[in-house]
Amino acid sequence: MADYYEILGVSRDATEAEIKKSYRALARKYHPDAGATDSERFKEIGLAYSVLSDPEQRSRYDMFGESGIGAQPGGFGGFERGAFADIFDVFFGGPSREEYRRPRRGRDLAYELKITLKQAAEGITEEIEVPLEAPCPDCGGTGIERGLSADICPECGGKGTKMSSRTTVFGSFSSTTTCPRCQGSGEINTHPCPTCHGRGMRREVEKVEVKVPAGVDDGDRMRLAGKGEAGTRDGKRGDLYVIVSIKPDAVFTRKRTDLYEMVSIDMVQAALGMGIMVPTLDGEANLEIPSGTQPGAVLRLRHKGMPKLHSRVKGDLYVQVEVNVPTDLSGEEKKLLQEFARLRGEKASNGGVIGRILHKA
Ligand SMILES: [Zn+2]
Ligand SMILES: [Zn+2]
């Protein structure tokens, strides 16, 4: 695949507006309704725009090229980030006769894979069950009873198309539309296959192994080339997009590769300082609470966060400290605290003006 900037004909420092403008002009030029037959080019433009119009995907593309967004073909390991951008699908009308007669690629499928934060940190291999349409084994996907053939469509005389014009956001286009009787094939199936009743396809569930790399984030998607639905007329299978959904974690909050958690310590621990055990993604770890730690202080455990995708680098774990002030002091404890306050020259109870004002408030 060529460079996305080249595809859209913009410079590498083009603004979002320039990218959008160029995309619109190209989409209009290569729009199938405008008579363009190069639908691959149109899809390429759509893909380039879906990446460059998204600031995060664009910066990944700038840094890592296609491997950053994983648009390269090649089965497992293809990796993409960000929301689906079905930009080109929006513009496609019915297939033209040429398109119909050409092999048609099968539809892409999307599958949401729910995993835990720990699984996201470690990476997992999952076998998923994907419901899809597969070619009927009896008629080989033609929908016609074995040994028989179709008749010429009387509505279009076998052409498969009719002329019409339509108006879109890009202007008015005169175009050929698909024959409603034969759906563009130019043929009528008078001998439907008894197994699939002429559909040529049947519902199946396919088991697919998905390798989720360590470090995936919520909304990341992986492309499994050729694992989508079957094509027609010997067209290639579509792709399967596995979209990662990470379940909310009871302990950790994630921001990219860093993790955040709250721990609560006692007043005396905060004042004196001590080592405590805190939860991390791989078991408990010792966290040194320095003496004089204030409520709300944030301490860091280096490299205890999430791994960076396709890298050995790990983020950090930030621990926010909450300090418990006791609410159920016994008489003896009160005395000790008052003694403590006296030693420090602090007002302990019913003392100064400030104390009284605070009590009233
Ligand atoms: Zn027809
Ligand atoms: Zn069949």
Q: Which ligand is located closest to the Cα atom of residue 97?
A: 1
Using one digit for the tens of pLDDT, what is the confidence trace for 77-117? 333 333 333 333 333 344 444 555 567 788 899 999 999 99
260 token code pair = 């955040």
Q: Which pLDDT score, from 0 to 100, does residue 309 have?
A: 92
CA torsion, ordered 83, 89, 91, 97, to nearest 10 deg: 170
Residue 287 lies in a domain: yes
- 42 falls in which pLDDT band (50, 70, 90)? confident
Looking at the chain, the whole-number percentage of residues with pLDDT higher than 70 is 81
**132 C-alpha to ligand 1 centroid (Å):** 28
**Axis-axis angle for helices 55-64, 39-52 (nearest 10):** 100
Q: Ligand 1 mean position to 127 CA, how many Å?
A: 43
Q: Is residue 243 situated within a structural domain?
A: no
Domain count, the chain: 1
Other beta carbons less than 10 A from residue 212's beta carbon: 20
Alpha carbon of 129 to ligand 2 centroid (Å): 23
In angstroms, the CA 124 to CA 40 distance is 34
The pTM (predicted TM-score) of the whole model is 0.58
Nearest ligand to residue 135 Cα:
2
| 5 part of a folded domain | no
Residue 60 is assigned to a structural domain of this protein: no
Please indicate, yes or no, if residue 179 is contained in any of the structural domains.
no
Evaluate whether residue 308 is within a structural domain.
yes
Q: If we measure between CA atoms, which residue out of 255, 215, 242 comes closest to residue 123?
A: 215
Asked, for residue 141, whether it belongs to a domain, the answer is no
Residues with CB under 5 A from ligand 2 (ion): 136, 138-139, 193, 195-196
Q: Show the domain range for 313.
A: 253-360
Ligand with smallest separation from the Cα of 139: 2
Query: What pLDDT was estimated at residue 34?
Result: 65
**Nearest Cα to Cα of residue 125 among 137, 134, 113, 112:** 113
| Token reading at 59 | 């910066």
- Distance in Å, CA 96 to ligand 1 centroid: 12
- pLDDT classification of 358: cutoffs 50, 70, 90: low
Question: In angstroms, what is the span from residue 223 Cα to ligand 2's centroid?
Answer: 29
Neighbours of ion ligand 1 (CB under 5 A): 153, 155-156, 179, 181-182
**Amino acid letter for position 128:** I
Q: For residue 298, give the CATH number of its domain.
A: 2.60.260.20
- Tens of pLDDT, residue by residue over 287-299, are 999 999 999 999 9
CB 333 within 8 A of CB 326: yes
Residue 246 lies in a domain: no
- Interval 224-231 mean pLDDT: 90
Local confidence band at 184 (pLDDT 50, 70, 90 cut-offs):
confident
DSSP 354: H
Rounded CA separation 68/101 (Å): 36
Strands, E, within 75-160: which ranges? 78-80, 109-115, 124-135, 151-152
